[in-house]
Structure formats: structure tokens, C-alpha cells
Structure 1
Amino acid sequence: MSQKPTIVFVPGAWHNISTWEKVTAPLEAQQYKCICVPLPSTMGNPSTTFLEDLDAVRNVILAEIAQGHDVVVVVHSYGGLVGSSAIKSLTKKPQSVSPSPTQPTGHVLGLAMMATGFAATGISFIDHVGGKPPPFWKADTESGFAVIVADARELFYHDLPEEEGNLFVSRLEKQALKVLMEGGEHVYSGWKDVPVWYLMTTDDRTFPVEAQTHLVQLARGGGGDVTMREVESSHSPMLSKPKETVEFILEAVAALER
């Protein structure tokens, strides 16, 4: 059995696990077990809750640590809120319950975050972004979905070749609105419990680099152990800069293992 940690990938809103394919293949070639978690909120059911997204990720992590495997969680965009919340009590934080022979023996070693914010315990996604949707999507309360109203290729994939960018636009899923508007009681600032590696996307048209920089500074000021790297990419570095993204993940995992 490989002693390398399992890497669990959490996509952003509207996105499915195909966004991770360019980075999981080279990581698996280096004998890392990679698990990409589909979020229930992207499966066409508008009644999906934030807790269902959280549990989908947490259950994958629990299954790995129950087998004695350590885990690194890689998150992107909205997935940062889910991943941070899902690791509650599963880290080596001193106040975590000590494992016994009948309890999990693995732990979450840390988070590798990209183009995302830092979860605040008890605060929903919509309250994290100021209480109303950003200009590029609207809350369609009639359908129950968050609807992108901007040019999705420009928003997420402007630095991909046009044909490939259009391909990933065609793969975008319906995003349940409820998970973005509610569920704050389940949000947890797990990034405070583990070391964090953060990949800043400097040509991001969805989440400007200035906002990312500000949030990293706030996280550090709030006690976060945050190591920052940069990549000149759109909001989707795993697609437009997969080599650099893989290098970032490998550097993060190596440091977290130590």
C-alpha cells in the first residue's frame, strides 16, 4: 500500500470533476491516489443543501482516514467553502479527539486552495460575498438555480484555446441556488486547523487577484498558516496551466507531509 497521502479534489460551483483531469493523471502517474468528488449541488436538483455538498466530501475523507491514509484536500472557488467545512475534527489539531483502535488513524494534513476565499465559521456563501450575488450570476428563485449571466468562457477559461474553452463551457452544470444562499450553520473555518497552501491566479476575471491578496492577508492576520504561490492564469489554472498546478500541488503535499 502506498504511504503517500490521498489527494481529494473539490470543484467549484457549476463545475464537474472533469475540470481536474489534466492534473490528476500526472499525479496518479507518481503513485498518488486521487479522488475527485462530484458535488450534489451540480446534479440538477434545486433542493440540494450545503450540508449535502459538505457530506459528499467528508464521507470520501472519512473513508480514506478510516483505512489509515492521510489526506490532502485540494479546493477551487466555491469548493473552498465546502472543503474547509468538511475537514472539521479530522485534522491533527490538538483539541481533536485522539484516535483509538476503533477510530480513524489517518488525518487531513492540510488544504491546497486555488482562486478561493477562506471560510468563516457560521457564515453562508452569500454572506461571504456581501449578501448578494456577484454581477456574473443571478439568483433565479423560480427555477432554484444560480444562473450565469456573463460570458462563461471569458469568466472561467479566457486563456484556453477558443475550442477548448467552449468545450468546458458546454460541460458546465446547473448550480443549485440553495447551497449558495443558506447553510451557514454548517460552515467551518477548517483552514485555521491545518497548514494551507494557496495558489493565487493573477489573471483571474472571476475572482480578481487583488481580492485574493486581501483575503490571504486577512487569513494570515487571523492566525492562518498560509503559504502562497502565484500562477498567471484565469480562474481555472488546472485547465490552462496544468503543469504549474501539478507542481504547486506536489510542493504543497511534500511540505504538508513534513
Structure 2
Amino acid sequence: MKRFALYAGASRGDLGPTRRAPDELRAVPRRQPVGRQDLLDRDPTVSVSSTPRRTGPIPPWPISATSRYRLPTGRPSSPTMAVTPRLTIFTQVVFGELLSWAGSSSVVSSIPDAERVTMKLIRSPFTHRILAPAAILPAAVLAVATAGTAVASERGGASAEAQDSGKPTVVLVHGAWADASGWNEVSESLRARGYPVVATANPLRSLSGDAAYLAARLKTIKGPIVLVGHSYGGAVITNAAAGNPNVTSLVYIAAFVPDKGEDTLKLAAKFPGSRLSDDPDAPLPTALDAVPLGSGPTDVDLYIKPDKFSDVFLSDRLDQAKAAALAASQRPITPVAGAEPSKAAAWKTIPSWYLVATDDRTIGTENLRFMAKRAGSTTVEVDAPHAVLETDPDAVTHLILQAAHDNRPSLAKTGTSTTRTALLGGTAALAVAAGAVLVIRTRRPDSAA
């Protein structure tokens, strides 16, 4: 395809189109606009440099020192005012318009020589030196603040969210016939999202003693706490959370939720579904082994029999090898812990969440539903056994995250501070005012035309 270019200064009909060698092909800029032509009104396709450069919009490189343009006041600029980046031109227009308005206002006009003083300020070299920083600094702060907020909100790793002071500490309390290692997968998932996690030991000796042990542990934790209990651990957190203002959420995972004066053994027998015993009249549940600890009749530890463990605790949802390993590592509970009445009911004053395992053969699914409904808990149902921690840790994690997200009393710490709000608001106001001035100037007829 043939390409042509016009020599600079060639008028139509003088030299006409002239063929040039391929190495000479380049766009030649048109002549520099006259000094009194408003910079904002000229053809944007015209190059503003007095030296040959490519055509296009206003370039980011400097304008020649002899370039002249008028400020919005209608007076031509001097060569010293040819500060060239587009941002500087923008700020000159904005501040020139604002100063011009101030000079013509009724208040300022009462001052002798107000217009002369205003124009002197507009033309002052110092004014032009501070115009660019005056616009750049708020814009830079806004960009950094916005970028920082975006990065902080998008990060999901532990290194980012662990520094978020608004995230509550999640305290996990296991129940009978398990230990703190049952929370491993849940704990890893929560830590990966930046939540501090404490998977505390549960002595399983007595309800009052276990609750006191946990309450003392909770007092060492600063900030909001999401307290989670599984199985018998639900009764423990119900008592330990009472009177602790830092506990903002209670999460029950297939757990006991006793009212004041109730014990866990009676709650498990309220509705059918538990397979801990085949004989309701037996002095000891038939699925349990009693290992003596002393001479007293209650000085025993209760274990689930190894041949019953997979059925009662896991609903046969795991392979035999895994079930046998869990049966071998189970932690026993004493009869006193199951028979001791609850002394508090923290769920009456603290919001609660509940996961109902629909194939629970330890407490019984209907018993879980009864307690969840009575407590007014936000409830989800999962097709899982009593040991839902082992079979469905993701469902457990999801419910805990709901509780942690919906009840975060320190959200003000993670949101925008008052100082930052004022800064962003001021910057936004400057941008809006500047845009309004530009619109007004581009629509106002040129007084010098």
C-alpha cells in the first residue's frame, strides 16, 4: 500500500503529496497552536511540541518553553508557566478556576485590589510549583489506600489474616471418646484462613471441673472468642461461657446443649436413637466398658467397646483400620461427668449455631434436633455420624466460619478508621470538584474569542 506524508509547512496545493523513502516515513506534526488558543479547546490530535514528534493526544513529555496558553482567567500565560505534564495542566485549570472564583466573590471583592492579588497568586511561580504535588499527593494516598484495602480483603492465607485483629479466636473443645486431635483438619482449615485456633484438652472428669478448667483457659485469650464444642464438649462450653463477655458465639457440633439442672445422660435418653445401650434398664450402657480407677463404685473410666466403636461413634462411615485406630486412642469419661447437672445455660444469652448429624447413633439425631430448636440455634443438618469431625470436617469448618463472620464485635477495627475515612472523603471531594470545574470550563464560551 502506498504511503504519503506532508512536509511541515506545506499548504494544500503547494507541494502536494510527496513520496518518501520507507526509512523516512513518519508522521509530521501540524503547526503549533497560536498562543491565545485555549489548550483545552484545541484539536486533541494536534501535537503540542514545537519539535517534530508523532501526532496524537497531549503527550506526557514536556512542552516547549515557548509554548503559551491561557489560564481560565482569560489571560495568556508566560513562558515560565509552561509546566507541561497533563496532571499539572489539569491542576492549573482547577486551582486557577477556584482562585478566579474567589477573586470575583462578594466577600473577596470587598478587599482592595482583590483581583490583582488573586492574579498575582495565580501567576506566582511558587503556586505552579505546588500545583502538581497538591494533586499528586492525594491521588497517591488514595491509590495506596485502595490497593492496600483490596489486597487485605483478597488474601486468604494465614500470614495475611493472622494480622487481622478483628478475627476472633476459635476455641475447639472435644467430647468423650475422642481427643483434641479430632479437630486437626478443622483447625488446619481455620488457620489457613487466618483464624487463631486453640484446640484445648478436655479432662472429662466432671462437668463442673471441666467447665472451670475451660473457663480459666478462656480468660487467658484476648479479644472475641468463638467457642465450639463436640458431643459432651457442648455441655462444657455451655457452662464455661457463662459470664465471659469475650465469648461472642457458641457452636455445637452434634453436641449436648443442657439447660440449667439437666444432665447429659437424661438428654441422650429423651428420644430414641442412641445405640449406647441395648437395654434401657441396664446399670451400665451395654456398649461401654467400665475400667476401675479406685475402690469407689463411681471411680471408673467409661470406654466404648472396640467392637462397638465403629457402629456407635462412626456409624460405620470409615474403613476398619481407621475406626480401629480411633477406638484405640479414645479418651474415657467418668460416670460423674455424664450425671452431673448443668449449672448454667450460656446459650440463652449468647448466639448459637448447631450442626445436626442425621446419622448420630451416640446421642441420637432426634435429641440433637430437640436441643438445637430449644436453643434457637442457627441449624444445619449434615448426613454424617456422631464423629462428624472425622467424616465431614469441611461442613464443620463452614459452620464455624458462619459463626465467626456473623458475630464479630470488633469489625470497627478491621474496617475504615475515622482518619482514613476523612482522607478518602477529602480526596474524593477534590476529584469531584475538579471534574465539575473542567466540565464548566469546557462548556463556557471563550471570553477571548
> Is there any run of 5+ residues in structure 2 with no aligned partner, and where?
1-162, 271-282, 292-296, 410-449
1:126 match: secondary structure: helix
Code of the aligned partner of 2:388: P
Task: Name which of 210, 235, 250 aligns with 1:53.
Answer: 210
- 2:253 and 2:396 in contact (8 A); partners too: no
1:40-189 alignment, distance < 5 Å: 40-41=203-204, 48-64=205-221, 67=222, 69-91=223-245, 107-129=246-268, 135-137=286-288, 141=297, 143-149=299-305, 151-157=308-314, 158-182=316-340, 184=341, 187-189=343-345
Higher strand share: 1
Q: How far 1:142 moved relative to its partner? A: 6.3
Instruction: Give the 3 Å change call, closer, same or farther, for CA 133–251 of structure 1 in structure 2.
Output: farther
Q: How far 1:154 moved relative to its partner? A: 1.5
What residue is the counterpart of 2:388 in the other structure? 237
CA distance in 1, matches of 2:318, 2:339: 31
> Is there any run of 5+ residues in structure 1 with no aligned partner, and where?
42-47, 92-106
Instruction: Give the 3 Å change call, closer, same or farther, for CA 245–129 of structure 1 in structure 2.
Output: closer
The two structures have a TM-score, normalised by structure 2, of: 0.47
Identity level (%):
25
Code of the aligned partner of 1:172: Q
Task: Name which of 204, 207, 212 aligns with 2:360.
Answer: 204
Task: Name which of 359, 366, 376 aligns with 1:225.
Answer: 376
Which fold has the larger relative contact order, with Cα–Cα distance below 8 Å and residues 6 or more apart in sequence? 1
- 1:85 and 1:119 in contact (8 A); partners too: no
What residue is the counterpart of 1:213 in the other structure? 369
Q: How far 1:40 moved relative to its partner? A: 1.6
Q: Which moved more, 1:144-153 or 1:21-30?
A: 144-153
What residue is the counterpart of 1:12 in the other structure? 175
Q: How far 1:253 moved relative to its partner? A: 1.5
Q: CA RMSD in A?
A: 2.2
Q: How far 1:135 moved relative to its partner? A: 4.9
Higher helix share: 2
Summarize deviations over 1:84-137 as a string: whole Å, max 9, x none. Answer: 10011113xxxxxxxxxxxxxxx1111110112321113333344459765533
Higher radius of gyration, 1 or 2: 2
CA distance in 2, matches of 1:111, 1:133: 31
Q: Which moved more, 1:160-169 or 1:190-199?
A: 160-169
Code of the aligned partner of 1:196: S
